[in-house]
């Protein structure tokens, strides 16, 4: 879809559009063999009205590869300008890059103008410069923008394919930022997921990552992908983590893919994973050292970003009534209170929640409400029916009940959950009581984006698309009337467009995840009108 216009944002001109592609124009060339080099691109993230977080990684010497702990400390300069030739530099500074931070560099730049496009670059002595990146600040706190537009992605497994969705988002000139909803990297050893015969390109390191050095190497490997570099250099990133930044199905005390006897203590592995993440990602850690934090786009929308791994209880067994245990938590008490208070205090039109696992219930075996509760209590079954995936909010129903009750009790409208993780695309109402929906009300809506590359249904079953998914999707929708649409077979990304009147998600798919030149096409659009708390289909993508 190349026929895109940006008339709604007068500040973006043709010159700014050209600047969005500056990631393709490097500075003076350098290789690790000949001296310092910027081999991992540049990035920006967490836009504020007056600031942006800038990132890069310098390789100061040939042996100073990610995770090595080798290489001298070097002074890295950074510049922010309003023009691509850097004649109008508005901010600059110096940051020390050393082995104790894996020679990564962050500059938290302030004093910038709201809702403004900037370009930036890094340099070291000798005239070696990084590629040039483009970024954009958020609107002023009290501004009334006519719209904001985000790319939305999740679940990018290096071994499963090429990151073409990143390339297609980088080429757009109408986005304010990109939301990454988790699983930016994967922790598995090579050939474990997907299996060896389906590996498109092997991970580095090839073994499962466990130590700080391992996580650094894996992050560094992902940052060499050309489409990832193009995306980071074209747009600011707003990211949260999910489980694979640590290990599969992670919870506060362990993970499905962690063996304490042979892989060390879980707390040490988590500490290593978090350190590498904050070194390698353009993300500001919150005061709690996690990814839950809040950003604002004027009076139009605020974005509540969650961490649903660090504080959760261990997942319940599928079919167990333990999912309803009020002593079990997904968010942790402090984070849930933070989210509730932020939603209550919000004075924006929209409340967007960056949510790594699906909040909408997906269950089978739901009975009429007057029978389900008593029978479930007698049999020890979940009161909302048999949940498919207890790693999601379905496995922590008391947290979900409390949050949705808070939305309805306080009359909080226009809450939209933005979700990844499940490797499928969904458009859902979020019902207060799924068993009686649609006779009962919806408290919010949810847009779920599919994976960039990670296996979905047809990949896992090794069948042609829609061979089994059409029947499966029909069964899910029949048992869950709040689910308006689900696509189980595609890979791609979303584009979320928010205006004072509605929030719309345009779903795009790529032609082949194993093709580095994969094309992109619009598939579906769904929207929610302000005040409705319900999803409806839109006929076309936003232009």
All structural domains of the chain, each given as residue ranges with its CATH number in brackets, are 1-137 (2.60.40.380), 138-538 (3.60.21.70)
Which three-class secondary structure state does DSSP give residue 250? coil
- Tell me how far apart the alpha carbons of residues 438 and 440 are, in angstroms, rounded to a whole number: 5
The percent of residues above 90 in pLDDT, for the chain, comes to 82
CB 503 within 8 A of CB 384: no
pLDDT at 13: 29
- Tell me how far apart the alpha carbons of residues 41 and 281 are, in angstroms, rounded to a whole number: 12
Which three-class secondary structure state does DSSP give residue 100? helix
Q: What is the mean pLDDT of residues 246-263?
A: 96
pLDDT at 324: 93
- From the number of C-beta atoms within 10 Å of its C-beta (0-12, 13-18, 19+), residue 533 rates as buried
Q: What is the dihedral of CA 361, 363, 366, 370, to 10 degrees?
A: -30
- Tell me how far apart the alpha carbons of residues 119 and 233 are, in angstroms, rounded to a whole number: 9
Average pLDDT, the chain: 91
Cα 392 → chain centroid: 16
Q: Can you name the residues that pair with 428 across neighbouring β-strands?
A: 446, 483
Q: pLDDT by residue (tens digit) across 49-76?
A: 999 999 999 999 999 999 999 999 999 9
Task: Name the DSSP letter for residue 304.
Answer: E
Per-residue pLDDT band for 289 (boundaries 50, 70, 90) equals: confident
- Tell me how far apart the alpha carbons of residues 73 and 70 are, in angstroms, rounded to a whole number: 9
Q: What is the mean pLDDT of residues 419-439?
A: 95
- From the number of C-beta atoms within 10 Å of its C-beta (0-12, 13-18, 19+), residue 96 rates as exposed
Q: pLDDT by residue (tens digit) across 117-152?
A: 999 999 999 999 999 999 999 999 999 999 999 999
Per-residue pLDDT band for 382 (boundaries 50, 70, 90) equals: low
- Tell me how far apart the alpha carbons of residues 80 and 77 are, in angstroms, rounded to a whole number: 11
- Tell me how far apart the alpha carbons of residues 273 and 265 are, in angstroms, rounded to a whole number: 13
Per-residue pLDDT band for 465 (boundaries 50, 70, 90) equals: confident
Q: What is the SS3 assignment for 247-307?
A: CCCCECCECCCCCHHHHCCHHHHHHHHHHHHHHHCCCCCCCCCCCCEEEEECCCEEEEECC
Cβ atoms within 10 Å of 523's Cβ, excluding its own: 17
pLDDT at 6 > cutoff 80: no
- Tell me how far apart the alpha carbons of residues 9 and 439 are, in angstroms, rounded to a whole number: 40
pLDDT at 26 > cutoff 90: no
pLDDT at 77: 98
Q: pLDDT by residue (tens digit) across 109-118?
A: 999 999 999 9
Q: What is the mean pLDDT of residues 391-418?
A: 97
Of 374 and 267, more confident: 267
Of 385 and 23, more confident: 385
CB 286 within 8 A of CB 342: no
Which three-class secondary structure state does DSSP give residue 73? coil
Of the candidates 298, 411, 300, 292, the residue with the CA atom closest to the CA atom of residue 354: 292
- Tell me how far apart the alpha carbons of residues 233 and 125 are, in angstroms, rounded to a whole number: 22
- Tell me how far apart the alpha carbons of residues 177 and 148 are, in angstroms, rounded to a whole number: 9
Q: CA gyration radius for the chain?
A: 23
Could you tell me the two tokens for 297? 């786009």
pLDDT at 15: 29
pLDDT at 469: 86
- Alpha helical stretches, state H, 65-211: 164-170
pLDDT at 367 > cutoff 60: no
Of the candidates 15, 48, 30, 34, the residue with the CA atom closest to the CA atom of residue 115: 48
pLDDT at 24 > cutoff 60: no
pLDDT at 479: 86
Residues 6+ apart with CB under 8 A from 467: 458, 461
Q: What is the mean pLDDT of residues 531-536?
A: 97
pLDDT at 20: 35
Could you tell me the two tokens for 260? 């304490």
Q: What is the mean pLDDT of residues 244-267?
A: 97
Of the candidates 174, 278, 290, the residue with the CA atom closest to the CA atom of residue 541: 174
pLDDT at 380: 57
Of the candidates 120, 128, 116, 110, the residue with the CA atom closest to the CA atom of residue 35: 128
pLDDT at 305 > cutoff 90: yes
Q: Can you name the residues that pair with 118 across neighbouring β-strands?
A: 135
Task: Name the DSSP letter for residue 324.
Answer: G
pLDDT at 17: 32
- Tell me how far apart the alpha carbons of residues 295 and 138 are, in angstroms, rounded to a whole number: 9
Of the candidates 115, 109, 17, 117, the residue with the CA atom closest to the CA atom of residue 56: 109
- Alpha helical stretches, state H, 380-502: 397-409, 457-461, 469-479
């Amino acid at each position: 879809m190349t026929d895109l216009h940006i008339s709604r944002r007068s500040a973006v001109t043709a010159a700014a559009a050209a600047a969005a592609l500056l990631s393709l124009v490097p500075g003076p060339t350098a290789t690790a063999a000949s001296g310092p080099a910027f081999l991992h691109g540049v990035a920006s993230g967490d836009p504020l009205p007056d600031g942006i977080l800038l990132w890069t990684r310098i390789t100061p010497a040939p042996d100073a590869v990610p995770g090595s702990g080798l290489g001298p400390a070097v002074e890295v300069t950074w510049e922010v300008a309003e023009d691509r030739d850097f004649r109008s530099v508005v901010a600059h500074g110096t940051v020390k890059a050393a082995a104790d931070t894996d020679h990564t560099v962050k500059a938290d730049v302030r004093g910038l103008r709201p809702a403004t496009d900037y370009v930036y670059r890094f340099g070291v002595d000798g005239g070696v410069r990084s590629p040039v990146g483009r970024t954009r600040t958020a609107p002023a706190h009290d501004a009334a923008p006519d719209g904001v537009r985000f790319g939305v992605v999740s679940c990018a497994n290096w071994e499963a394919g090429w990151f073409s969705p990143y390339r297609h988002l980088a080429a757009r000139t109408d986005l304010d930022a990109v939301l990454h909803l988790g699983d930016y990297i994967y922790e598995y050893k090579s050939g474990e997921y997907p299996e060896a015969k389906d590996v498109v390109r092997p991970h580095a390191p090839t073994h499962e990552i466990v130590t700080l050095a391992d996580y650094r190497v894996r992050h560094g490997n992902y940052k060499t992908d050309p489409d990832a570099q193009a995306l980071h250099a074209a747009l600011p990133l707003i990211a949260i983590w999910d489980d694979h930044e640590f290990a599969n199905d992670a919870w506060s005390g362990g993970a499905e893919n962690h063996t304490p006897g042979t892989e060390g203590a879980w707390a040490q592995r988590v500490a290593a994973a978090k350190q590498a993440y904050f070194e390698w990602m353009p993300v500001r850690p919150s005061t709690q050292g996690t990814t839950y934090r809040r950003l604002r786009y004027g009076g139009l929308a605020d974005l509540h970003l969650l961490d649903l791994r660090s504080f959760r209880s261990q997942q319940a067994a599928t079919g167990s009534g333990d999912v309803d245990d009020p002593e079990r938590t997904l968010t942790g008490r402090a984070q849930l209170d933070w989210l509730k208070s932020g939603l209550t205090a919000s004075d924006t039109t929209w409340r967007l929640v960056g949510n790594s696992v699906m909040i909408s219930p997906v269950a089978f075996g739901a009975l009429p409400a007057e029978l389900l509760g008593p029978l479930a209590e007698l049999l020890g079954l979940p009161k909302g029916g048999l949940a498919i995936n207890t790693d999601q909010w379905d496995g922590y129903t008391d947290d979900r009940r409390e949050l949705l009750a808070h939305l309805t009790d306080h009359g909080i409208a226009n809450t939209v959950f933005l979700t990844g993780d499940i490797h499928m695309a969904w458009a859902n109402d979020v019902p207060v009581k799924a068993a009686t929906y649609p006779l009962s009300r919806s408290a919010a809506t949810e847009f779920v984006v599919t994976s960039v590359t990670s296996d979905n249904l047809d990949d896992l079953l090794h069948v042609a698309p829609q061979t089994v998914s059409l029947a499966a999707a029909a069964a899910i929708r029949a048992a869950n009337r709040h689910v308006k649409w689900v696509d189980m077979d595609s890979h791609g990304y979303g584009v979320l467009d928010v205006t004072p009147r509605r929030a719309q998600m345009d779903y795009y798919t790529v032609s082949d995840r194993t093709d580095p030149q994969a094309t992109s096409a619009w598939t579906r659009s769904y929207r929610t009108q302000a005040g409705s708390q319900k999803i409806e289909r839109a006929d076309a993508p936003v232009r």
